[in-house]
Every structure is written in C-alpha cells, then in structure tokens.
Amino acid sequence: MFQGDIEHMQHNVEQPPPTSAGGAQETVIIVGQEEQPQLERKKRKLASKFPLVNISGNILLAYQSLGVVYGDLSTSPLYVYKSIFVGKLQDYQTPETIFGAFSLIFWTITLIPLIKYVLIVLSADDNGEGGTFALYSLLCRHAKFSLLSNQQAADEELSAYKYGFAGQSTSCLGLKRFLEKHKKSRTVLLIIVLLGACMVIGDGIITPAMSVISAMSGIKAAAEHLSHGEVLVLSCLILVGLFALQHFGTHRVGFLFAPIVVIWLISIFGIGLYNIIIWNPKIVHALSPYYIIKFFRETRKHGWFSLGGVLLSVAGTEAMFADLGHFTSCSMRIAFSFLVYPCLVVQYMGQAAFLSKNLASVPDSFYNSIPDSVYWPVFVIATLASIVASQSIITATFSIVKQLNALGCFPRVKIVHTSKHVKGQIYIPEINWILMILTLSVAIGFQDTILMGNAYGLACMTSMFITTFLTTLVMIFVWQRNIALATCFLLFFWFIEGVYLSSAFTKVSQGGWVSLVLAFVFLAVMFVWQYGTRKKYSFDLHNKVPLKWLLGMGPSLGIVRVPGIGLVYSELATGVPAIFSHFLTNLPAFHSVLVFLCVKSVPVPYVSPEERFLIGRICPRPYRMYRCIVRYGYKDIQRDDGDFEDLLIQSIAEFIQIEAVESQLSSSENPSLDGRMAVISKKNVQSTSTLIVSEDFGIRDSIQSSKSLTLQSLRSAYAEENPQIRRRRVRFQLPENPGMDPAVKAELEDLIRAKEAGVAYIMGHSYVKARRSSSFLKKFAIDIGYSFLRKNCRGPSVVLNIPQISLIEVGMIYHV
C-alpha cells in the first residue's frame, strides 16, 4: 500500500523546490491500484507484437482509415505532373524527362511514406497516439525536456508514463544532460515542436482548397462554356459543405468517405494499367533510379526547381502519423502497403506512359489520360475523392489542437468527442469554422493550384523535416538505440527532405509565403499563450499562502464556517493559492469543508480512471481542508464522469479511512500526515466504499425539503408540467461500525452534512498584467497578446463543465 517518499516536484520555471502544504515532502500512497492497468499494458504489448491476433478489427479500421487518412495522398495524381513541368522545365518536355519525373515520384513515395513513415515513424507512437506533440510528450517523460507547469514526481507512477523501452543507455547520457541543463535548448525544442504543429494546421487550410479546385478543373476541360468564376463558386460551395459535415464525427465521415476512396483507388489503378499497356509498356524501366540521374543531367538547376512539384506526390503523409490516434498503426500499414501504395505507383506510371507519347497533354495530364468512355464517371469520383482528400488533414488538425490545448500551448476551445468507443475522435467547432474561412480565402485569393501547391509543398516538407528530427530523439532517449544508428537515420532522411525543402523555399515568392505567414501567426498565438500561462503559474507558485498563517488562525480560519463544501480551483498542485487569502479578506464566511482542486493535464494520452484522483490533506484534521488533484491525459475527456461530485466525496472519505489506518500502523511519535497524497482508485471506491450510497431519480423529496412555500409551489408546478424529468440524487450514510475511530467518524459525518448542504465552486477571475519594469516585448506579449486571447477563448468554467448556478468567481490581478 505504502510506496515511500518520492522526490520533490520538478518545475521547469525558475523557482525553489516546492513542498507540500505541510512543509514536508510529498508522499504518495497507492490505493486500490488493482491489476487493471497492468493487464491493459500487457494487452497493448501483445497487440503490438502480434497484430494478427485482432486482424478483423484492424481490417475494419484500415477500411475506415481510407476515408479519413489517405484521401489526400490518393488524389495527388490530379496535379503532380502539372506542377512539375512549369516554368523553364516546360522547355524540357521530352520522353526522357517524363521517365525521369516518374522515377523521382516512385522513389519519393517509396522512401518517405513507405519506408520512413509506415516502417519507422508509426512505431514512435505515444500509447497509440501520433503527431509532433505525441513525440514531444514521449520525450518529456523519458528526459526532463518539458516546460509545462504543475508537473509532479507522482505523475511518474502512472501506468502509461513509462510507455516505451525501459532502462537507460549510457551512450546518450551526455546529450541528455546537456539538453536538461540548458533551458534555452528546451525552449528551442518546444518552438520546433510548435512550428511542426503550425505547419500541419497550415496544411489543413491549403489542402482542401487545392484538392477541390484541382478536381473541378476537369469540368472546365469538358464543359468549356463554364467560366473560371463559375467553377470557383462551385468549388467554394463544395468546401462549405465539407466543413459543415465535420460535426458528424470521424466515425460517420470515415464510413461515408471510405467507399469513395476505395472506388477511386481501383479506378486510378485500372486507368494507369490501361495507359501502360496501350501507350508505352517500356515505362517500367523508369523504376530504376538511373533515370533520376538522366533527368538532372538534362534539366540541371531547372530540375531542382521542379522538385517542389514532385514532393506534392507525398503531400498528406504527415496526416498518416497525426491521425494515428483515430486508428491503429497496424491498420494504417495494411491500408497503405496493400492498397494505396500499389495503386498510386501504377497510376503515376500510367500517366507517364501516356505523356511520353502525348507531350502536349502535360497541363491537364490526368483528365487527358482518361479513356473517353469512362471520363464522366471518373470525373464524378475524382470530385468526391478530392472532398475526401481534405478530410485527413482536417482530422489531423483537430487532433493536434486538442493536444496543444491540453498541454497548455493553445487557447481554450470547445472539444466535442464524437465517438463513445474511440476516444481520439473529436470535433472542435471554433477550429472548424476558422479553417473554413481561411480555406475559402486561399481559394478565392489564389484561384491557381500551382501557387497553392507551392505553399502546400513548403508546409508539408517542413513538418516532415521536424518529424524526422523528433523521431531521431525518440530513437535515442526512448528506444535507447545507438546514437550512431539514429544519426544515420537523421542524415539519410534529412538529406532527401532537405533537397526538397530547399526547392520549396525557392517558391516563397510564388505562393509559398502563405505557409510562412500562417505558421508565424499560429506560432505566435501558441507561444504567447504558453508564455503567459507559465508566467501566471509562476506568480501563483511564489505567492502561496503561508501554512503558518493558516495554522495561526485556528480551525475556524478566523471567520464563520457555514455548512457546505467549497471546491477551490487552482492550477497549483501544492500549497494554498493566493486567491484563497483574497477570498477570506473580502468575505466573512466560508464553507465548513474546503477542497483545493487542481485539474491538470499530464504528458500521457490517457490516465486510467483508477489513477485519476490524488487525495491529500492540508493542515491538521480539525481544519477540514483537503487537496484533490484530478489528472487527465492530453486525449482524455475532462470531467467525463456525470457523478464527479459524488465520486470526489467518496474518494475523500476513502482517504480519511486510509489515513486513519496508516496512523495506527505507524509509530505514535510520527507527525501528522499533512502533505501526504493517496491515489484513490475509482473501482476501489465503488466496490468497497467507506460510505453507504443510496440514490433515486425523483424530485418529491427536494420539494418537501425546501423551507420556502413559494419555492415548493414553483417546484411542484414545474414537476407537473415536466413529468418526464427526473433528477438523480445521491445520499451518503455511514455504515454501522462500532470499532470506527470517533475522530474519523466525526470527520466523515461532517463531510456528509457538508455534501447535503451543497457544493460551491470557487474560481479566480484573473487579470494578468506585465510589471511596469518589464521590457516592451514582454508588455506587448502579456498586456496585448495574452489578454486578447484570454478574453476571446472559452472560460475555464465552461471547459470544466462547472454549473454556473454554483459558481463563485473571485477577481484578482496578477502582475507577472
């Protein structure tokens, strides 16, 4: 039961090592920690080693992933060849350069999506989650790279915390100590991660516009009477419809879109095979990389400029990793390796075979290569597939914003979980409509897929470049691979991606600037929010209420203690926040039971319900003051329990009983247990609760219990008008136990009476301002940037689903 003292909480802000409210080091008691987490870890480990055990489930997920993840990759044949042969390369349209272009496309698809992502990067998951922030959280748990606040040593006891390889390699100790020692290096690492996330969000803005307009270009080629403006209006209407569908969720959208992608892949495979056989079977020789050498020998620097078009063939690959939490790595590997990859290779090969005999068709190569007999059916499928293509990156954007939000790097937004079975499937209304507005702006502003492709290629390759770097760090610090081996991985893929990235940067003036502007704006928002949040937490940490002050006031705290429970919300995981003293000096009464509640995110995807509640005591027993830390992963649903209050009361009661048992077992000279924390298992609370729980769904008792006749009549009238409404009410009682310690019994009775009197939620309504002595840059970031974001994002009470009727807000100014 007792696991012993653990180390001081590790903070990454400049501060003295914090202690608990009692002045002692934090101690954790693990209670009710049954074998469920271990069983879950064994199941995950078994599934990763033997994915064929659940082959039917993986095949179903692979089918769904086609509609969510691979739409973007699958529709790239619509515009790749057109994007390659632009500018001066139009003067080199010969069969040899066509063969070389196909060889470049083939080896790019093989090396980056197939070898790098499918074989390597998809293995760098964080408990099944993917994306740049999943890699970052994985690194932060295996080394002290994090700049996140209120992290505790107790978090390291979570079952999901040590996901990955155990042990410590001596070869990476020097590099690890260097990064941990220098705060600037950790700041740079966070900025790199944020930049990668910004580039994926930028993809989410550009991809829908480019995919839909590329598909709609086919109708203009076949129906020449349509003007460019009419085609643009049709494209914008399709984009609006696409974003309007997002609230149905990934599960429904995946089943709706997956058949479209399957038909599309089969269609382009058939068309490609037809063109190979009919036009030029010798195109198979271009699988040799020798044709790449011939391509650059003939085109020289103009061939290098054209690489910005080649990299569009792997556009959407990053979404494969970012969307990993919606599916499984095995299902994604099945879908790509056995369907997406072969269909794309055959299609690109078929287009090259057609173009080698029809050089004038390069500007509209895909639609010109379609046989006339199937043109219109393929056009309809292409239009539908282009809509699906946008889904992968939109879904990835939702996933990344959720991770950023949970780890304190993005303003608070409303997160809707669209599936009861798959936790990672979410919808964010604010982000969805912002993406729609920006996407329409890009579509109307550019109206040209070549310019959009330049912007898209820059964002796409930058995010891949960053993922390669972070995966290398995971190899070193998490997988414990040899540094030389990890460096070979880094240099090999950085060389390939660096060549493409350098080509993409030459197109900055030709549309690429959009990606840079979008990345800068989102990066500024993220960094300002993270900086302001960290400064606010640092202020709270340095202005905690001294324990001596509370002890000197006595159990009554110098005021009237009225019946009820006061839940004081704070970001502090230790100590008493300054807002509490501010409240005491302005109000003459406070609740008889106080619970300082800290709802925080930890750098793991999910926290098991058995490990969620961390309960402790502040001050001696007569004060009736407790601390509760509620821990969520960055993919968890916060306050997903409808009976949160009742579960909290049961957890505190369980802690009181456990504390009494520990006191009896320990020496009589042992000091009070102030500052000790216990992990209270939800399962243990529900099965062996200290309290007797009774519940009903009626409202008659609440009507009779009211002392006001007017209120009784109003409630009776409401009940008669709404007979279908029944409110769930829970009552607690103490079991008959003659051997119970009288002090414990009295404390539990006080807790029950307080619960019956009602629960109030106390939160700080803070105003954060920079000190007068601060620099201009800091004043601009805090007084303008951070204040603007706080005023225009969701309030903490809304995010935590706190009932407004029970909310008390205390105004306070923070000078940081």
**What is the predicted pLDDT for the residue at 356?**
93
- Res 214: pLDDT: 80
DSSP state of 289: T
Looking at residue 588, what is its pLDDT? 73
Predicted pLDDT at 177 = 78
Q: How far is the C-alpha of 345 from the C-alpha of 341, rounded, in Å?
A: 6
pLDDT of 351: 95
Amino acid at 761: Y
At residue 5, the 3 state secondary structure works out as: strand
Name the pTM for this structure. Answer: 0.80
| Residues 164/44, Cβ–Cβ less than 8 Å | no
Q: What are the per-10-residue average pLDDT scores of the chain (816 residues)? A: 34 37 44 43 45 71 84 88 86 90 96 94 86 85 74 75 60 73 83 90 87 78 73 88 80 74 94 95 94 92 89 86 83 93 96 93 89 90 82 80 84 80 75 92 87 88 93 90 91 94 90 92 91 88 82 77 88 84 78 89 83 86 88 75 77 85 59 60 57 55 46 52 51 71 86 88 87 90 92 84 82 84
pLDDT of the residue at 7: 33
Q: Is 4 left (phi over 0), alpha (psi -120 to 50) or beta?
A: left
* pLDDT (0 to 100) of residue 17: 38
* CB neighbours of residue 42 within 10 Å: 11
CB 381 within 8 A of CB 78: no
The DSSP line for 454-485 is: HHHHHHHHHHHHHHHHHHHHHHHHTS---HHH
Residue 590 has a pLDDT of 82
Q: Which amino acid is at 626?
A: Y
Residue 465 contacts residue 199 (beta carbons within 8 Å): no
Which one-letter DSSP state was computed for residue 506? T
